[in-house]
Amino acid sequence: MELSWVKIDVKAEEGYKPPFFAGSMLRGALGVALKRVVCINPSYRCQGCFAADNCIYFDFYEKENSYHPYRVVAPLGMDRLEFSLYLYEESINKLPYILISIKKTLEEVGLGREKRVLNIASIKVFSKSVYEKGEFSTKVSIEPKSFEIDEFYEDVTLKFTLPLRIKSKNRLSKEVVLPILINSIHNRYMELKGKERSKLNYIVKGEIENSSMRHLDLVRYSNRQKSRMRLGGLIGSISLKGVDKQTYAYLKLGEILGAGKQTVFGLGSYMLIPSKRKESYERD
């Protein structure tokens, strides 16, 4: 599996307590700022726009029936605003526009109904600081990471930090089923690579030994539909044993991409915690 990606970490100065679930709010405000930064159409309309094929705003917000090449991830219940923005594949080439839009989002557009503007404490790409004290650095060189695995673990724990929404037989699943989880990550990967969805070419190996997953309901307001939408899903931890190297690779990929539905808002985010080490990841 090949994937290029970038992770941007943003932290605001203290003094503003975000809503319990901030992912939808952040994505919406970022969209307003991004359009202001990149739109060159005098009509300011996306429908029929001559520049749509090369517009990152169109790709991120208006393009239908496609996986978005980014996602916004913000912890639940923050006392101070901080969030991460992941970029994948071709969207990485637009990194300067994204960084400028993040600044505009917090310092000009504002957040929530009150359009609260905030001062930015820092913006980092991976561990490199690119914005501090009101200025972008001109001396930092940013290189995207490539997805690589050099070792794998047979026993792991997945700690979901935002709800996982996966459908099984057209219904929201009430439990985690490992093959369905892996398939959702596989589908997102295929879409990001511009390939048609296909069935996994191997049998998923691994058993769920323990699960503390529970349902958590979240709500977002859709400006397009002018209504509140429920984003409930499963949150908690699952312990897996007997994972094979291909399944482990997908689980590591899911740490970067997210799993299930509405990953663009950060849903399906988890941390993979290993417990039993296998020394090397030998590729077939």
The two tokens of residue 153 are 């673990």
* Sign of CA pseudo-dihedral 40, 41, 43, 46: negative
Whether 233 shows a pLDDT value over 60: the answer reads yes
**What's the rounded Cα separation, in Å, for the pair 2 and 189?**
9
Indicate the pTM of the whole model.
Answer: 0.92
- Structure confidence by residue, pLDDT tens digits, 85-114: 999 999 999 999 999 999 999 999 999 889
Whether 83 shows a pLDDT value over 80: the answer reads yes
Count of helices and strands (H, E) across the chain: 5, 16
pLDDT at 224: 63
Mean pLDDT of the chain: 91
- Structure confidence by residue, pLDDT tens digits, 15-51: 999 999 999 999 999 999 999 999 998 889 988 899 8
Where does the pLDDT of residue 231 fall: very low under 50, low under 70, confident under 90, or very high at 90 and above? confident
Whether 277 shows a pLDDT value over 80: the answer reads no
Cα–Cα nearest to 176, from 211, 131, 139:
211
Cα–Cα nearest to 70, from 242, 191, 241:
191
Cα–Cα nearest to 267, from 254, 281, 253:
254
Q: What's 170's DSSP letter?
A: T
Locus of tokens 């503003």: 16
pLDDT at 74: 97
Percent of the chain past pLDDT 90, that is, above it, reads 71
Q: Mean pLDDT across the stretch 263-275?
A: 94
**What's the rounded Cα separation, in Å, for the pair 151 and 93?**
30
- Residues found in the chain: 284
239 within 8 A of 210, measured Cβ to Cβ: yes
Q: Mean pLDDT across the stretch 253-271?
A: 95
pLDDT at 276: 64
- All structural domains of the chain, each given as residue ranges with its CATH number in brackets, are 4-145 (3.30.70), 148-278 (3.30.70.1900)
The two tokens of residue 84 are 């991460």
pLDDT at 223: 63
243 within 8 A of 156, measured Cβ to Cβ: yes
Whether 279 shows a pLDDT value over 60: the answer reads no
pLDDT at 172: 85
Q: Mean pLDDT across the stretch 261-267?
A: 94
Angle at 2 between CA 271 and CA 82, to 5 degrees: 35
pLDDT at 272: 96
CA dihedral 23, 25, 27, 29 (to 10 degrees): -150
Q: What's 13's DSSP letter?
A: P
**Start-end of H helices in 16-94:** 23-38, 56-57
- Structure confidence by residue, pLDDT tens digits, 131-176: 988 889 888 889 999 999 988 999 999 999 999 999 887 888 889 9
pLDDT at 199: 83
Whether 284 shows a pLDDT value over 80: the answer reads no
**What's the rounded Cα separation, in Å, for the pair 155 and 138?**
43
242 within 8 A of 50, measured Cβ to Cβ: no
Beta bridge partners of 185: none
- Structure confidence by residue, pLDDT tens digits, 203-222: 999 999 999 999 999 987 66
102 three-class SS: helix
pLDDT at 282: 61
Higher pLDDT, 67 or 90: 90
CB crowding 58-80: b at 16 or more within 10 Å, else e = bbbbeeeeebbbbbbbbbbebee
pLDDT at 281: 60
97 within 8 A of 14, measured Cβ to Cβ: no
